[in-house]
Each structure stands twice: as C-alpha cells, then as structure tokens.
Amino acid sequence: KSFPSCSPNSCLPLASAMAGALVGSVAVQQTYPELSAADVEALLVELLAGYTSPEFESELSQLRAECARSGTHPLMVMGPVCLKVQGPILEKYGQPPDAQGVDLMKHSVERRVAEGSKTIEALANKARAVLGLGAMPDRTASVETILAAKVDETNARLGLAGEEELCRQCKLRIASDESSGALPSASARYLESLVGGSEVSVPSVLAMLKMAKMGHSIPSLRGDAAPSSVVVLDAPEPGAFFQRHVLPNQPAVLRGVLDASSFPPLRDFPDSDFLRRRCSDRRVLVKSLAHRDQEGRPVFVSDPELKLPLGAFLDKLDAHEHSGSQQPFYLGKVPLRKELPELAEEIQRAPTCPQRVYGACFGSLVPDGVFTYFGCGRNTTAVHFDAHENLLLCICGTKRLWLYPPSDARHLYPCNDFSRSAALPFARLEEYPPELRGKFAAVAGARPVEVCLRAGDILYLPSCWWHCVEGSDDRNMILNWWFALHADKKALAFAAEARRENLGAAAA
C-alpha cells in the first residue's frame, strides 16, 4: 500500500468539475456573455426537466448497465448522452452547444451559488443527483467544523492499515527516498526515530519528509534556530541578504526596495479603472469556497475553482468598499502570464522588480511566472506551507501573517498532501472552541511569529515555513515570485548532513 496524496474530500472542486468534464476538458473562450442569475435558474429548470424525461432516463440507465458490465465509470463516457439534453438548452441561452458551453454553464452555476442563490444551489444539486454526482460543498459550515473534519479524514485514511502497518509503510517510504539519493542518511535516521513515538504523528513525519527532501537539515526539522520575531531590513544588499537570511532559511521583511517610479504596478494595479482598461473581459480563476471562522473572517480552504470575468470581480470588490456588501470571491493564486497576461507585461516593462534585485539569491523562477492574490473583506488563507522560496510584494492594503517554522509540523496537524494544516488560522489553543481543544492539543506547542505588511513591503518567506494570511477589509493585493532553492543552499544542507554522518562514524 502507499499513501495517497489527498483524501477524497480534500480537493473540493473535484465533484463540481466532473460535471463540466463530461465531454472533455476545454479552454473557456471570451466570446460568450455571462449568464445572469435569472438565466442560470431558468436554464437549470429546463436542464432538470430534460434529465428527468423518460427518454434520457432510459438512455442513462442503459449506459450505466453497459458500464457495470465493462467496469467503466459512467462519468467517463456519459458526456455525449448528456450533451443531447444540454446542447439545445445551452444554445437557447446564447452558449455554445458543446464542451465549452458545459464548462461555461458550470462556472455560471458556481458563481451564482457563491453569490448566495439558494434556489440555484438546490436546482444544481437535483441535476447533479440525476447524473450520479455528489452535492455541491456545504458553504454554511464553519471553518472550525471543516478543519476538524480534516483531522478525522486524515486519521481515517492513514489508519486503514492499522498502526503497526502504517509505521512500517512510513519507514519504507523514508528508506526508499534515502536509497534514491533524495534524502540524506542522517535525515532518514532522524525521521525514522520519530515514527511510532507518542509525540509526533505519522502525518507530521510525512510533512517533515517532504521538507527534508527539499534540503532542510535536522536542526531545521528540530527547530533549533527558530526566530522569535521577523526582522525588518532597509533595502538590504543581495549578498548580505543571501548569507544572513536565505541560506539559514530565516524570514525577513524588506523595505525601501521599490517605489511607484521603479515599479509602476504599485501605483497602477490597485486602480480598478486601470485594471478594467487592461483586462476587464479576461476570465480569471478565483476562489469562491470560503467558510467563516469564529472571528467572522472568510477562510478559503481550496485552490481556485471558478472562472469569471475580471470586471465582475472588480464590480464586487468596488461594491464591498462602497457599501460593505459581501465579496464572495478571492482572486487567489492566479498566474499572471496565463490568466492576466496584460499585467504580466506591466511587470516585465517595469524598470525593476523583486526578481531583478534579489533573483540571484534563489534558483529558477517557477515556470508559470508571477502570481497574484487580490481580495477584500479580510480574505483569509488557511495554514499551509509552500515548497518554494517566496518573495511576496504587498501592492496595496495590508497583509497579516502568522509564520511557523518548518519544525512546527509536529504541532499543526498536517492533512491532504501534508503541506496543508488542519490547525485554525490565527488562533492559539486557548482561543479554540472548547469542544475542539482536545482534538488539537498539540497546537499548544506551536511557535508562530506575526508579520504585518503594508504597500511596498517585500516578505521573504522561506521554503517550507508554515503560514496563514489575512488581508485587510479594503482591497489588498500581493504579487508572489516563487523560486526553487539556490543550488548552494540545497548543497549546503546535504553537505551538513554528510558531515554529521561522518562525525558520527568517527565517534563510533
């Protein structure tokens, strides 16, 4: 047996996406109008009538029987059957009668549900039930409920083999990574020593295994040099920054590096009119699945799963700032080169940028280039870590972060692929609901440090540091440059482990 990378419920958009994938995956084009809420409701009424017609039910029943005989999952082959009903209805509402139209419909439904339409949600769930799909995610559950369930899901998933077998499988994975050269032997011995103990769970060991393979040394995994605060540096020289912060994997806030003259996006990107002129009609990925925490923050627990025009996102953002209306969308983890190339061009044209100043301190930029996160209304991201090095530039508004050292994996209840945490964002154990304090008792040992960023600040967020992020109530935007580790940094970590092994052998 092997450890799956995520639980069946860890990727929440999956079930919804399957409906749009019935006839194949396609790129959404720009030439079709957005469906209004009234149009979506009417379309779903007609679609449901078609799905429950005797003709469709008979054809779907025959298809399922054939799939049962052949061992094929019905969702893999039912697209053409569904399109017989979907196509004419899509065309009636101005959408293409093909896979692209199905994809557009899916996003229109998700958008209106995120905006609060219970009628559309009920109709969509009826249609999904006919097709054999599960219900859309419950948006009314609190984030405390959602994250507590993640602990149970992870324990159930890993506990299927039994404790003894689970520990054996964990040690086999460590041994395999060691034999392939991906993991230093000293790190392998350290991780093996944690398996089966009472203080560190198997999910925590698996999170640290990912970190060790990235080049994190035993002292980093133990938390020997975890800082009690994050330093603020005034336009540091790249060489000194590399030696004092990048190599030892210590976070820092860099100020005075950029201004609006050297990096015009600091002036332009917060401006809705500028964004509308440049790329209002671009359909962009947004997060729409948020759960409120006990402080009232919307905590987004999934990756972007919905596409809508940037102009529609800006309309909601402007309305929130003017009247306090709800903003259900968070433009999070969006690769500019792919989704908003006009903004990527603006960054490229700027006289300088964080990459040009400090890029030599890191390995290569990730292939997708610069990412953005853009929202309002105290948009909050749950606790997680990224394998890459990160230079995070605050463009407007403010960002508040709690940073946890890699070693806090033992206190943060890793889940899904073990780079995400079920711990509540911005909460110490005594602030948890009383009924959850026993389930999350290890959180008491976590050592977060708080960072508050303002426009123009650059945060160096090192590889594998856990973090949660809260935006200001007004519009807030950051740009992220994610890099691979510098070759010297990774080599240094592996060399340190080799020296540790040699010293141990000599002492023996």
Cα separation, 129 vs 135, in Å, equals: 7
Q: How many degrees, rounded to 5, is the angle at CA 156 between CA 151 and CA 160?
A: 150
Cα separation, 389 vs 361, in Å, equals: 10
Highest mean pLDDT among 108-122, 298-312, 485-499: 108-122
Cα separation, 141 vs 290, in Å, equals: 9
Cα separation, 2 vs 172, in Å, equals: 10
Cα separation, 421 vs 417, in Å, equals: 10
* Structure confidence by residue, pLDDT tens digits, 394-444: 999 999 999 999 999 999 999 999 999 999 999 999 999 999 999 999 999
pLDDT of residue 395: 98
pLDDT of residue 14: 32
* Structure confidence by residue, pLDDT tens digits, 22-46: 333 344 445 688 899 999 999 999 9
Cα separation, 177 vs 112, in Å, equals: 46
Q: Token digits for 241?
A: 């920054």
Q: For 71-95, what is the mean pLDDT?
A: 94
pLDDT(297) > 80: yes
Cα separation, 189 vs 48, in Å, equals: 58
Pairing between strand 380-384 and 371-375?
Answer: unpaired
pLDDT of residue 9: 34
* Structure confidence by residue, pLDDT tens digits, 52-79: 999 999 999 999 999 999 999 998 899 9
pLDDT(329) > 70: yes
Cα separation, 365 vs 368, in Å, equals: 8
Q: For 150-165, what is the mean pLDDT?
A: 83
Say how many residues make up the chain.
Answer: 508
pLDDT(2) > 60: no
pLDDT mean across residues, the chain: 90
Any idea what DSSP says for residue 242? I
* Structure confidence by residue, pLDDT tens digits, 179-202: 999 999 999 999 999 998 888 999
pTM of the model: 0.87
Cα separation, 102 vs 108, in Å, equals: 10
Q: In what order do the strands lie in the sheet with 252-255?
A: 231-234, 252-255, 458-461, 389-396, 476-483, 371-375, 331-335
22: left (phi over 0), alpha (psi -120 to 50) or beta: alpha
Q: How confident is the model at residue 164 (pLDDT cuts 50, 70, 90)?
A: confident
